[in-house]
Amino acid sequence: MDVRRTAVVKLDVSDEHRDALHRTAGQYLYCANRTADYCWSDTSYTECKTNKRQVRDSLYSDLREETELQAQLVQAAIRRAVEAIKSVVERWKKGQRVSCPTFTAETMDYDTRSATFYRNKVSLATVEGRVEPSFVLPADSPTPYEWYVLSEDYEFRESTLRYDAATDEFYLNISTRRIDGVDETRSVSFAHQNAKRSGDDGAEVSSDTEHPSQTVLGIDLGVNSLAVASTGTFWQGDDYDHWCREFEKRRGEMQQCGTQAAHNALLRLGKREEAWRKQYIHTVANEIVTEAVEHDCDAIVFEGLTDIRERLPQAKWHHVWAFRRLFEYVSYKAPERGVSVEQVEPNHTSQRCSRTDCGFTHDHNRHGKQFECQKCGYEVNADYNAAKNIGLRYARKRIHRLRSSPKSGSGDAPVDVRVNGGTLNGESHRPVAGD
């Protein structure tokens, strides 16, 4: 299993090195904005340039002459701008209002050529040569994400340097990967021990392992509830909504003051709110993974998040943010407990009857928070019905893939969906209580 972690580490930067990093970031942003302007077209998205190699060949030499940046940083700035243009083009194709991307935040992407990583410090390329700020790590025991930086079991890959204007500090988002051959039990034990500690942040995990049989946990992300599992467990998010409203109210009061002190307080409030949101979603993610482990599930299945804002226009903006974070957090927490994370197409999961002997799909099946099948009369909570459909969709997809594979023999491997009191199979119904 290929396990990757992104650790967020604070840097101890001297005043001299701060100036060097700020100057480097300014020139990096210049390259990114220059590239975006070159790629952009106000006429049509078909006129926008999105081929990284062609854009690099056109701009690289000029940007090297116009800046003092190292070659890798120039190329990184070009890649960032082209990726942003691609993202905007995709939204443009869907008829959304778009504009040319503009880069203002002081962030820079470093690879292993422009940055050299050590266990206690990093060497970064700047316009004034190399600087080597130390990592600010706790003196007693590190938080889980910092453990991946300190552990020899993980190797460094790339990183993103970020300047936080609110705290006047530099942070490094370091991507690490577990070295092949490392005893996985040790990493799993550590992660399980620290599963409920705060502070860890985004990561990526992928698994290439195929299992002959699986039991899956379907997860619906809805308007009425933050998340609902096919086992019937609900994460309502009432506290989340309450505190989001409180933070919003407090921000409004500060913005009315208009003073510099109020502005500084607003920045600090934003940091506290961000930390609170992350911690809340981490807690939900831990509980979802635990739900899967306790029900012997091999996979957690989410609905695809593409265009979720358009699919759920009535969802609050902070819910949409939470959905994306929740999927990210579960995606790197679950594999350490032996559970993979998958996604399926979300279309009609709210309108389809989840009873395997029915499956009738109609817009009138759903009435707000309640689901009532117009064909068989099945009544249940709408989000719970959708969670079961998400698990069933993955089960049917996997069964189809196994049966169409020349290596699968009879292709009769079971794929079950864990539900309240039992399991459902993609093609047959097994004894269930209260589904």
Full DSSP string of 157-202? EEEEEEEETTTTEEEEEEEEEEPTT--HHHHHHHHHHTTT-S----
Sign of the alpha-carbon dihedral angle for 272, 275, 278, 281: negative
In this predicted structure, what is the pLDDT of residue 406? 55
Cα(77)–Cα(171) distance, integer angstroms: 18
What's the pLDDT band for 36 if we cut at 50, 70, 90? very high
Q: Tell me: pLDDT of 413 over 60.
A: no
Look at residue 399 in the predicted model and tell me its pLDDT.
Answer: 66
Q: Phi first, then psi: what are they for 209, rounded to 5°?
A: -80, 135
- Name the most confidently modeled range: 52-66, 112-126, 165-179, 282-296: 52-66
What's the pLDDT score for residue 314?
Answer: 57
Q: Across 56-60, 143-147, 224-228, 361-365, which has the greatest mean pLDDT?
A: 56-60
Is it the case that residue 346 has pLDDT exceeding 60?
yes
Average pLDDT along the chain: 79
Average pLDDT in the 264-282 region? Answer: 82
- Compute the average pLDDT of residues 60-83: 95
Which range has the worst mean pLDDT, 141-145, 165-169, 274-278, 338-342? 141-145
Residue with the bigger pLDDT between 129 and 142: it is: 129
In the predicted structure, residue 260 carries a pLDDT above the cut 60 = yes
- Confidence tier at 79 by pLDDT (50, 70, 90): very high
Of residues 171 and 191, which shows the higher confidence score? 171
Higher per-residue confidence, 72 vs 141: 72
Under the banding of pLDDT at 50, 70 and 90, the label for residue 187 is very low
| Lowest-confidence pick of 210-219, 253-262, 324-333 | 210-219
User: What is the distance between the alpha carbons of residues 31 and 352, in angstroms, rounded to a whole number?
Assistant: 50
Beta partners for residue 169, in sequence order? 164
| Residue 407: per-residue pLDDT | 54
- Which range is least confidently modeled, 160-164, 249-253, 332-336, 410-414? 410-414
